[in-house]
Amino acid sequence: MKIVVIQGPNLNMLGKREQHIYGPMTLEQIHEQMKSFAEQNNIEIEFFQSNLEGEIVDRIQECMGDAQGVIINPAAYSHTSIAIRDAIAASQIPAIEVHLTNIHAREEFRRHSITAEVCAGVVAGMGAFGYHLGMVGMVQVMNEIAESAKQQAQVQEK
């Protein structure tokens, strides 16, 4: 089982930028925690961060046939990127969107996520712990998909 974690613009600045909003943890620290969870659960995990919309679209497309799940924080692109939304939908790979802050309690322009509409779930407002919740959620989604496939195979055998 492989999960690809895709991080959007400015997340490389975590721990340095607006700690009162995004918290003190760096992106590397968050990834280390996710890596630890992945190892404990026999999950292969890969990390990608870009400030460029096209690179994020490319990475989502590259997940097809390579990963069973995507955890994505599109950051500001959540509110503006039809291209990232379409890439998630086209990939047909389950995705969970994570936001460090509660986007619904922020500025009006941040309150709607275009990309969330095509994700299996969204975690928002839990700070860095939200990535852990996203991992737990992704394991559950992938287990449900595997169980459904197993049941379909059993029906076809009969």
Which residue is associated with the tokens 């950051």? 75
Enclosing domain of residue 71: 2-157
This prediction's pTM:
0.91
Among residues 36, 93, 86, which one has the least CA distance to residue 70? 93
For the chain, give the secondary structure using H, E and C.
CEEEEEECCCHHHCCCCCHHHHCCCCHHHHHHHHHHHHHHCCCEEEEEECCCHHHHHHHHHHCCCCCCEEEEECHHHHHCCHHHHHHHHHHCCCEEEEECCCHHHCCHHHCCCCHHHHCCEEEECCCCHHHHHHHHHHHHHHHHHHHHHHHHHHHHHC
pLDDT in tens, the chain (158 residues): 899 999 999 999 999 988 778 788 999 999 999 999 999 999 999 999 999 999 999 999 999 999 999 999 999 999 999 999 999 999 999 999 999 988 887 777 777 899 999 999 999 999 999 999 999 999 999 999 889 888 888 888 87
Residues tagged active-site: 22, 99
CB 76 within 8 A of CB 10: yes
Total domains in the fold of the chain? 1
Helix (H, G, I), strand (E, B), or coil: what is residue 72? strand
C-alpha 79/C-alpha 65 separation (Å) is 27
Which residue is associated with the tokens 């870009």? 50
Q: What is the pLDDT, as a whole number, of residue 106?
A: 75
CB 56 within 8 A of CB 85: no
Q: What is the pLDDT, as a whole number, of residue 108?
A: 79
CATH of the domain at 68: 3.40.50.9100
